[in-house]
Every structure is written in structure tokens, then in C-alpha cells.
């Protein structure tokens, strides 16, 4: 019994360690000091240009409706956007079809603009989903996070 508990405890510890370190094992996109500008239209037809948000912190979340970790983190992003109206949150969907992104946005009642990423995902060198880029008030890349973020980790990163 004692031996089984040791093995079980070691297994749980290794799972925790692997889960915690997963973000650090993922290749982060290489970006210049300043976040590349983009102009995209959201699912409601409104135009958003990154440069227009200069002076505000911006959270750019690359995601897709078919990505399990992306869907898992959407409630945290929705809560964050509602609780931190001073921070701009932009969801850049890499879905091929806008109706798939719209269905996910509706399902989770996302209170922030959903934009179809298109070529911007390539500009930002996105290789893994989800990937979140934090842009400071001056337009500098302040953080890059690969894999799902919790509300707490998002709040800490975007402060």
C-alpha cells in the first residue's frame, strides 16, 4: 500500500510539473520590439487597427473554435474583459470560416471583438494555439504566452 501511494504521488507530481512547464516547452513566436500593426474587421463589421489602441494595454488572443485549450480559456478571457474595461481584449480567430468563430463567441458570450486573423497570424509567427500577446501602452510586446491561460494568469500578465 505504501509503495502504491509513493508511485501514485510521484505520478501526480510529474503530471503537475509537466502541466506547469508545458508553456515553457512551447516555442514562442519571435516578434519585434513593437507589435506589428494590423487592420481587421470584426464579426460585427467594425474595423479595428492595433495602432488606434496606442495608450492602452492590449491583449491579443489567437485562437480557433476547433482548439480545445482555446475553448477552455474563453470564459477566463470573457471574465477578464468584463472586469478590466481599461484593457483592450482582441480575439483573433484563425478559423477558416467566420461562422465557426461566431458560434464560439455566441456560446461564451464574448464581450470583446472577434477578428478573423487571416495573414496576421503569419505576421505574428503564430505556430501554436492558443497564443496570447500582451502589448503595452507604447505598442511594445510586453508578453507572449503559449497555451491556455487562466483568469489569474491573464490578470497577472496584463496588469
Question: What distances in angstroms separate CA 69 from CA 14, 73, 89, 131, one per listed residue?
Answer: 20, 6, 18, 10
What pLDDT score was predicted for residue 14?
Answer: 56
The 10s digit of each residue's pLDDT in 55-101 is 999 999 999 999 999 999 999 999 999 999 999 999 999 999 999 99
Residue ranges per structural domain of the chain: 28-157
The 10s digit of each residue's pLDDT in 3-51 is 765 666 665 655 554 554 444 556 788 898 999 999 999 999 999 999 9
Q: What is the pLDDT of residues 39-50, one digit of tens each?
A: 999 999 999 999
The superfamily (CATH) of domain 28-157 is Glutaredoxin (3.40.30.10)
Residue that is written with C-alpha cell 463589421 in the block? 45
Distance (Å, rounded) from C-alpha 150 to C-alpha 72?
9
0.75 exceeded by pTM = yes
Amino acid at each position: 500500500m505504501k509503495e502504491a501511494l509513493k508511485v501514485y504521488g510521484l505520478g501526480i507530481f510529474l503530471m503537475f510539473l509537466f502541466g506547469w512547464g508545458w508553456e515553457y516547452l512551447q516555442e514562442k513566436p519571435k516578434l519585434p520590439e513593437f507589435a506589428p500593426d494590423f487592420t481587421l474587421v470584426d464579426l460585427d463589421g467594425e474595423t479595428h487597427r492595433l495602432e488606434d489602441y496606442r495608450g492602452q494595454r492590449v491583449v491579443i488572443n489567437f485562437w480557433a473554435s476547433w482548439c480545445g485549450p482555446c475553448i477552455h480559456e474563453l470564459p477566463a478571457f470573457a471574465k477578464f474583459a468584463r472586469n478590466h474595461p481599461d484593457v483592450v481584449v482582441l480575439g483573433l480567430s484563425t478559423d477558416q470560416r467566420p461562422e465557426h468563430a461566431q458560434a464560439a463567441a455566441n456560446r461564451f458570450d464574448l464581450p470583446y471583438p472577434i477578428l478573423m486573423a487571416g495573414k496576421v497570424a503569419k505576421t505574428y509567427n503564430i505556430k501554436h494555439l492558443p497564443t496570447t500577446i500582451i502589448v503595452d501602452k507604447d505598442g511594445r510586446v510586453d508578453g507572449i504566452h503559449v497555451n491556455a491561460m487562466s483568469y489569474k494568469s491573464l490578470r497577472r500578465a496584463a496588469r
